[in-house]
């Protein structure tokens, strides 16, 4: 009996040790949380030796804001420059969380929608901004912008500003913006005696692609990787100009019924898949911006229809051989998309002024000059401000594509991209409703499988119609 | 009379009390782990259960109203979910079986003395230690890729056509990577079994003139059974949850969207329909418990053991 | 096999042995090749990595320098490794502290219905973690645990506990009853029984279990990215932070992956023998 009693006591001791440990851990945990909630920097106290927490608190000098942003070159460059060029001036430290596009959407949408209060500034796209703004999840920027000497809201390219506003209130500030156009190898066209029109139709582009296509060089590179922002974006611009759409619109602008079963939709998808099969890049079902960019730079494709921002990322020798044409059309006048990665402040953010101070720094014209000084004018994040396209230095450095980019952005038909009424406007390469994300993702998985040839186009259409119909209003 | 009746139960009570105390004493060491697990896993489960009866969507924001069992009736008629379930089953069963078979083969190879035995074993266990996300990316971009992949480069070198593995055969490409990662694990378990084989029995078989084949099927394999069962059980538990590989290799689609990917897509992966997604996950739990109860009965050896 | 099948021809048997050894080496290289290629790519330039396969190239450590380069405000390699280390180490210790007594209560002095309890532990692994993420996130938000190491420690403990309980239970069943009874008669208390009788016997099993917990926790990505993308971020997040949607990343990713897998690979290499002995123990009952 005494053995068991002692055993009992042993276990009690162990249990209480565990409990104490748990409590300690919990205490540490909530300390962490409290620290971050008060915008007090925990990392300075552990990593840096410049100032202790107490100093910072007493002086009220160091604030920390937390920013979630997408992983790409322009953003990473900005994150590198912030500690050197933003923090000393503003006294605000910026902690970045850089995530890939898909994860960023998951994290930021949940954070702003369910009030996670994890971030002071989030990078979102042109697709999310009007929706989040209308839901009341974002801080309006008009007043903050008006109070700034450096921001100059009227300098924003009107189409971009329009796409990021709800009822005249700007809800996010564009970091860079893009349209879509055709990039092609001028030298290859010349060798083959082909003249590419300035504003080609899809039929012309397809004919040229099939004509050029050879074993060494594919005719055209198009996105085929699943995702509403990958294949979904490129394909929807084709769909629009072929007269198709994802859903009809009710009178109040809400989602009507799925239009995926309509002949125009089938025509567009057949056109896209056939073109890729006949004259597209290898492994098109796995290709998106990155893959196409590599193939184009290596001379394995003669044409590439994608984002205008690509031009600013090419090496010099590639730019020299490249010419540009507007996004191809069929039934509509223009078909280029409009996209921007933008910075926004969730309504739950503790210190919107500090957040805007950072947004201002990262997206104003002075930032353009900073990048120009450090990396050259060609590396400036394009597409957001008219002033950039008025600067002779920029037009000179980016001569090959600057005007084309601006033209494409101005021509993007954001208020009426197709031939029939549709929900979710403005928006070209997406339908600006929350339901499109799921529909676009799952349908493009089907389309991608059709491109790979593992299912037929008809099977893909049937599945996609079922998916889109889940959301019929 | 009264005394007798009051006496008898009191002795019984004493026995009962003793038994109770004994039971409690036995239970005590179990409690920390049990309570911890219940707290951490059952609270989310109950919350999911509650959400599954609502129409909660995050965007567009919904008031989260009670909708009864409508999520469940929808779930039962969802053909995409059925497809995902089939994919899950095929993927799990084939990758578990293949890695067990391959693992057995490799273990047999490694169970002999030869130059560099330890080194080769070290090489082979490495894939199991690689992060799933990294494994998926490396295979997709550096092995399978039609443009830069080593496999296609070899195929082309011997005059064959390049194959777009990940997009043409999404399901089997993923299975291949899973088998690559889990064969080492199975190999370790089976090697453990082989090394636990009593040498005297093998010796006796040899003396009796049994062929290696007969020795393998009649002595080694029966001896390996509990090890194989352990491998199948652990493999199934982990492989049915496969998610990272699919995200990075195919991004879902016909043939590669399994149940976890399907559920994720319906919740934070773009669908934002938490009510509906929760209903699907509850169904998954019920189905898995059902299958597992059945499965564990088949894997008799693992739950055998004398009763107290 | 068939060679030795035909008869006692010594030369043939020897040849068969060489062939089998060669086959083992070949299989070893086959399995290792993708890892080798990953390491190799870490020493390439992006241009070399994003091109046709190249075995010979001018090696550069540029990618390693770049991925370990600290930028204020961005998750640095050092931070990620230290966060991972603590999350993995503490959670594994916790798992062991919880699982050892539980395994005792399920094998040596089993509670009533120990099968049901064991099944319950395993059944907690059935809820797809992707499905539980939202409730978990809400709980974490309410308890102010988002972006703390603590939330990962708690969840990694819960994630690995069923596995540990399962494995340790079968190891404990291996301990000869007589030894425990003898210790009891000597008046050794429970802790004494565990530390002086049981643990020495099951030590390889403990090591195997702990190593598996370490591997699974070290490589865990989904929970880390969903609940803890900011402070206390772990190594897998640091690795995938090198995946860019606009620009080539294979060489950088390979370099980061190489560094990230190094600790578990070394641990796995060092502990493989123990692991085999441990697993040998566990499957029998």
Question: Who among B140, B147, B271 is closest to A438 (CB)?
Answer: B271
Percent of chain C with pLDDT over 90: 32
Most confidently modeled range among A173-187, B17-31, B224-238, C3-17 = A173-187
Q: Do B192 and C276 touch (CB under 8 A)?
A: yes
Which chain B positions have a beta carbon within 8 Å of A472's beta carbon?
none
**A191 exposure class (CB count in 10 Å sphere: 0-12, 13-18, 19+):** exposed
pLDDT tens across A71-97, in order?
A: 888 898 999 999 999 999 999 999 998
Does the beta carbon of A9 lie under 8 angstroms from any beta carbon of chain B? Answer: no
CATH domain B83-133+164-266 topology: MetI-like fold (1.10.3720)
Q: Is the pLDDT of residue A1 over 80?
A: no
Mean pLDDT score across all residues of chain C:
85
Question: Who among A100, A119, A313 is closest to C240 (CB)?
Answer: A100
* Phi and psi torsions of A301, nearest 5°: -135, 150
Which chain B positions have a beta carbon within 8 Å of C209's beta carbon?
none
**Distance of alpha carbon C130 from alpha carbon B10, whole angstroms:** 54
CA distances from B254 to A232, B83, B145, B170, B262 (A): 17, 8, 19, 8, 11
Q: Do C153 and A71 touch (CB under 8 A)?
A: no
Residues 13-72 of C with CB under 8 A from A: 50-51, 71-72
Q: Do B192 and C221 touch (CB under 8 A)?
A: no
Residues 347-406 of A with CB under 8 A from B: none
Does the beta carbon of B33 lie under 8 angstroms from any beta carbon of chain A? Answer: no
Higher pLDDT, A27 or C195: C195
Shortest Cα–Cα distance, C267 to chain B (Å): 9
Percent of chain A with pLDDT over 70: 87
Question: Who among B40, B288, B305 is closest to C126 (CB)?
Answer: B288
The predicted structure's pLDDT at residue B147: 76
Q: Do B132 and C219 touch (CB under 8 A)?
A: yes
Estimate the crossing angle of helix B2-27 against helix A2-37, to 10 degrees. Answer: 50
The predicted structure's pLDDT at residue A60: 54
Q: Is the pLDDT of residue B60 over 50?
A: yes
Structure tokens at B38: 């219940």
Average pLDDT (B161-183) is: 93
Could you tell me where the beta strands, DSSP code E, fall in A318-357? 322-326, 338-344
Shortest Cα–Cα distance, A452 to chain B (Å): 6
Mean pLDDT score across all residues of chain B:
87
Could you tell me if the ipTM is greater than 0.90? no
DSSP state of A49: -
Q: Is the pLDDT of residue A2 over 60?
A: no
**A84 exposure class (CB count in 10 Å sphere: 0-12, 13-18, 19+):** exposed
**All domains of chain C in start order, with CATH:** 2-64 (no CATH), 72-282 (1.10.3720.10)
Q: Are B282 and C150 in contact (CB under 8 A)?
A: no
Does the beta carbon of B148 lie under 8 angstroms from any beta carbon of chain C? Answer: yes
Higher pLDDT, A466 or A27: A466
The predicted structure's pLDDT at residue C101: 92
- Under CATH, which number does the domain A178-337+412-469 receive? 3.40.190.10
Question: Who among C137, C189, C245 is closest to A72 (CB)?
Answer: C245
Residues found in chain A: 473
Shortest Cα–Cα distance, A33 to chain C (Å): 6
Identical topology for domains A45-171+340-389 and A178-337+412-469? yes
Which chain C positions have a beta carbon within 8 Å of B36's beta carbon?
98, 157-158, 161
Q: Is the pLDDT of residue C55 over 90?
A: no
Q: Are B234 and C165 in contact (CB under 8 A)?
A: no
pLDDT tens across A123-139, in order?
A: 999 999 999 999 999 99
Residues 207-246 of C with CB under 8 A from A: 225-226, 229-233, 240-246
The predicted structure's pLDDT at residue A61: 64
- Among the residue ranges A32-41, C88-97, C228-237, the one predicted with the least confidence is A32-41
CATH domain A45-171+340-389 topology: D-Maltodextrin-Binding Protein; domain 2 (3.40.190)
Which chain B positions have a beta carbon within 8 Å of C218's beta carbon?
131
- Torsion angle (degrees, nearest 10) of CA C42, C46, C51, C56: -50
Which candidate, A152, A373, B116, A239, places its Cα nearest to that of C26? B116
Question: Who among A10, A43, A71 is closest to C189 (CB)?
Answer: A10
Q: Is the pLDDT of residue A51 over 60?
A: no
Most A-contacting residue of C245, C251, C253, C256 (CB-CB within 10 A), to test interface = C245
Question: Does the global pTM surpass 0.90?
Answer: no
Cβ atoms within 10 A of the Cβ of A387, count? Answer: 15
Does the beta carbon of C115 lie under 8 angstroms from any beta carbon of chain B? Answer: yes
Does the beta carbon of A434 lie under 8 angstroms from any beta carbon of chain B? Answer: yes
Q: Do C132 and B308 touch (CB under 8 A)?
A: no
Which chain C positions have a beta carbon within 8 Å of B278's beta carbon?
131, 134
* Phi and psi torsions of A277, nearest 5°: -65, -40
Place of tokens 């390439």: C44
Q: Do C230 and A72 touch (CB under 8 A)?
A: no
Q: Do B234 and C163 touch (CB under 8 A)?
A: yes
Q: Do A106 and C226 touch (CB under 8 A)?
A: yes
Q: Is the pLDDT of residue A228 over 70?
A: yes
Q: Do A10 and C229 touch (CB under 8 A)?
A: no
Q: Where are the domains of chain B?
A: 41-55+63-77+271-300, 83-133+164-266
The predicted structure's pLDDT at residue B301: 52
pLDDT tens across C237-274, in order?
A: 888 888 776 677 889 999 999 999 999 888 888 888 87
Q: Where are the domains of chain A?
A: 45-171+340-389, 178-337+412-469
The predicted structure's pLDDT at residue A16: 45
Average pLDDT (B139-155) is: 88
B8 pLDDT band, cuts 50/70/90, is: low
Q: Do B133 and C109 touch (CB under 8 A)?
A: no
Q: Are A94 and C73 in contact (CB under 8 A)?
A: yes
């Amino acid at each position: 009996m005494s053995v068991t009693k002692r055993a009992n006591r042993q276990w009690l001791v162990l249990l209480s040790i565990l409990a104490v440990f748990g409590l300690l851990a919990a205490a540490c945990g909530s300390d962490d949380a409290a620290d971050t909630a008060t915008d007090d920097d925990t990392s300075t106290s552990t990593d840096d030796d410049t100032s202790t927490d107490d100093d910072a608190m007493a002086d009220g000098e160091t604030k920390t804001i937390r920013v979630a942003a997408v992983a790409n070159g322009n953003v990473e460059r900005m994150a590198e420059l912030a500690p050197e060029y933003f923090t000393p001036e503003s006294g605000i430290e910026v902690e970045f969380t850089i995530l890939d596009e898909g994860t960023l959407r998951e994290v930021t949408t949940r954070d702003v929608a369910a009030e996670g209060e994890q971030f002071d500034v989030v990078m979102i796209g042109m697709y999310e901004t009007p929706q989040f703004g209308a839901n009341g999840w974002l801080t309006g920027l008009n007043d903050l912008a008006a109070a700034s000497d450096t921001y100059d809201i009227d300098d924003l390219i009107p189409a971009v500003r329009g796409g990021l506003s709800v009822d005249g209130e700007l809800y996010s500030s564009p970091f860079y913006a893009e349209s879509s156009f055709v990039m092609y190898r001028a030298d290859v066209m010349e060798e083959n005696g082909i003249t590419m029109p300035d504003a080609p139709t899809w039929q012309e582009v397809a004919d040229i692609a099939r004509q050029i296509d050879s074993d060494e060089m594919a005719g055209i590179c198009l996105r085929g990787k699943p995702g509403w922002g990958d294949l979904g974006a490129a394909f929807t611009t084709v769909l629009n100009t072929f007269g198709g759409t994802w859903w009809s619109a009710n009178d109040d602008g809400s989602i009507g019924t799925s239009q995926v079963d309509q002949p125009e939709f089938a025509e567009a998808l057949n056109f896209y898949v056939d073109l890729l099969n006949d004259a597209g890049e290898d492994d098109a079902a796995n290709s998106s911006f990155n893959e196409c960019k590599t193939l184009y730079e290596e001379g394995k494709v003669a044409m590439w229809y994608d984002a205008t921002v690509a031009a600013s990322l090419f090496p010099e020798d590639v730019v020299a051989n490249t010419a540009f044409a507007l996004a191809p059309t069929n039934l509509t006048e223009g078909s280029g998309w409009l996209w921007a990665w933008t910075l926004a402040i969730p309504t739950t953010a503790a210190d919107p002024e500090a957040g805007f101070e950072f947004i201002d720094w990262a997206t104003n014209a002075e930032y353009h000059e900073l990048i120009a000084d450090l990396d050259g004018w060609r590396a400036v994040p394009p597409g957001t401000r008219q002033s950039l396209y008025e600067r002779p230095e920029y037009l000179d450095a980016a001569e090959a594509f600057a005007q084309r980019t601006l033209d494409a952005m101005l021509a993007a038909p954001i208020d009426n991209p197709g031939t029939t009424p549709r929900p979710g406007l403005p928006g070209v390469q997406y339908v600006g409703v929350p339901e499109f994300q799921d529909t676009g993702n799952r349908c493009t998985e089907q389309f991608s499988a059709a491109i790979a040839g593992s299912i037929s186009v008809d099977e893909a259409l049937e599945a996609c119609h079922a998916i889109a119909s889940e959301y019929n209003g | 009379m009264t005394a007798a009746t009051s006496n008898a139960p009191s002795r019984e009570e004493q026995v009962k009390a003793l038994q109770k105390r004994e039971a409690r004493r036995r239970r005590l060491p179990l409690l920390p782990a049990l309570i911890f697990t219940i707290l951490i896993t059952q609270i989310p489960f109950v919350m999911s259960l509650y959400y599954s009866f609502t129409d909660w969507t995050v965007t567009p924001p919904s008031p989260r109203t009670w909708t009864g069992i409508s999520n469940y009736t929808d779930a039962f008629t969802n053909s995409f979910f059925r497809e995902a379930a089939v994919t899950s089953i095929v993927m799990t069963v084939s990758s578990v079986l293949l890695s067990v078979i391959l693992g057995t083969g490799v273990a047999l190879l490694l169970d002999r003395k030869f130059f560099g035995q330890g080194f080769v074993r070290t090489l082979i266990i490495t894939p199991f230690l690689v992060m799933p996300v990294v494994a998926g990316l490396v295979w997709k971009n550096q092995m399978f890729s039609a443009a830069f992949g080593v496999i296609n480069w070899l195929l082309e070198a011997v005059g064959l056509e390049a194959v777009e593995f990940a997009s043409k055969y999404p399901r089997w490409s993923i299975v291949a990577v899973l088998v690559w990662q889990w064969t080492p694990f199975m190999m370790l378990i089976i090697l453990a079994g082989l090394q636990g084989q009593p040498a005297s029995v093998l010796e006796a078989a040899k003396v009796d003139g049994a062929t290696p084949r007969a020795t393998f099927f009649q002595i080694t394999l029966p001896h390996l059974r509990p090890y194989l069962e352990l491998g199948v059980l652990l493999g199934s538990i982990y492989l049915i949850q496969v998610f990272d590989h699919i995200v990075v290799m195919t991004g879902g689609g016909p043939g590669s969207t399994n149940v976890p990917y399907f559920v994720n897509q319906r919740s934070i992966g773009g669908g934002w329909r938490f009510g509906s997604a929760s209903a699907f996950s509850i169904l998954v739990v019920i189905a898995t418990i059902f299958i597992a109860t059945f499965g564990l009965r088949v894997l008799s050896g693992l739950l055998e053991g004398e009763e107290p | 096999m068939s060679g030795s099948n035909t008869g006692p021809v010594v030369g043939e048997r020897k040849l068969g042995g060489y062939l089998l050894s060669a086959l083992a080496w070949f299989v070893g290289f086959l399995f290792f090749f993708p890892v080798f290629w990953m390491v190799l790519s870490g020493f390439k330039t992006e241009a070399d990595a994003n091109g046709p396969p190249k075995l010979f190239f001018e090696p550069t450590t540029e990618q390693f320098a770049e991925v370990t380069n600290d930028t204020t405000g961005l998750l640095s390699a050092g931070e990620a490794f230290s966060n991972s280390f603590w999350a993995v180490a503490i959670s594994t210790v916790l798992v062991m502290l919880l699982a050892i007594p539980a395994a005792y209560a399920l094998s040596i002095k089993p509670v009533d219905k120990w099968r049901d309890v064991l099944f319950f532990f395993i059944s907690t692994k059935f809820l797809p973690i992707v499905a539980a993420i939202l409730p978990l996130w809400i709980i974490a938000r309410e308890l102010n645990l988002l972006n703390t190491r603590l939330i990962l420690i708690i969840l990694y403990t819960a994630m690995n506990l069923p596995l540990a309980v399962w494995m340790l239970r079968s190891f404990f069943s291996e301990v000869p009853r007589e030894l425990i009874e003898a210790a009891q008669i000597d008046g050794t208390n429970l802790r004494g029984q565990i530390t002086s009788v049981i643990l020495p016997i099951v030590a390889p099993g403990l090591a195997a279990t702990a190593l598996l917990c370490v591997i699974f926790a070290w490589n865990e990505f989904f929970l880390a990215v969903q609940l803890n993308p900011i402070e206390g971020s772990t190594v897998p997040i640091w690795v995938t932070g090198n995946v860019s949607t606009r620009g080539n990343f294979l060489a950088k990713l390979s370099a980061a992956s190489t560094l990230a897998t190094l600790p578990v690979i070394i641990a796995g290499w060092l502990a493989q023998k123990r692991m085999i002995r441990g697993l040998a123990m566990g499957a029998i009952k």
